[in-house]
Amino acid sequence: MADDLKIYTYPDPILRAKAEPIVNIDGGTQSLINGMGERMYKAPGIGLAAPQVGLSKRLIVYDLSPKNGAKNLSVLINPEIVLAEGDVVYEEACLSVIDFSAEVKRRAKVKVRGVDRDGNPLDIEAEGLLAICLQHEIDHLNGVLFIDHISPLKRTLYNKKLKKMMKKPS
């Protein structure tokens, strides 16, 4: 299924839409989770949100395991940040924002609530890379990209660079 899942890139409008909650975790949802996991590993990335593959659903997958270690796919359905504290700056990139990374200020610690792929409630208390990843992916569910957290000047420079890249023949 990973081969049929295309990663949509900025400025595609799907990335700006607020994703819809998942009400039934059915076979289609399980298939989507598996496909998103495969697509994320193939990219390669550490996280992927459903809007990034063109689906307006509140679903994220992530795996912070070392690249050469065993895979440990984590799934969060309808995640929301319920507590956040402190600040941290971290260099971020995104599968949907091609050829760009920047330092982003995020919350240092977060508590995220959602359900797993079987519908079981989950509360995750995170800091470090996991906190950054969860905030980044949940932003996608709200139509927010990491470039929205950088200065207007850096964003303008990236947009100019992107326009030049899009004009070049492949």
Q: Which residues are catalytic?
A: 137
**What does the DSSP 8-state code read for residue 168?**
S
Q: Which positions ≥6 away from 24 have C-beta within 8 Å? A: none
Name which of 140, 3, 131, 121 is nearest 64 in CA terms: 131
Tokens 């819809």, residue located: 20
Residues forming a β-bridge with 59: 77
* Residue type at position 32: L
Tokens of 157: 């420079």
Whether residue 136 contacts residue 150, with contact meaning beta carbons closer than 8 Å, is answered with no
Whether residue 165 contacts residue 98, with contact meaning beta carbons closer than 8 Å, is answered with yes
Element (H, E) at 93: strand 74-94
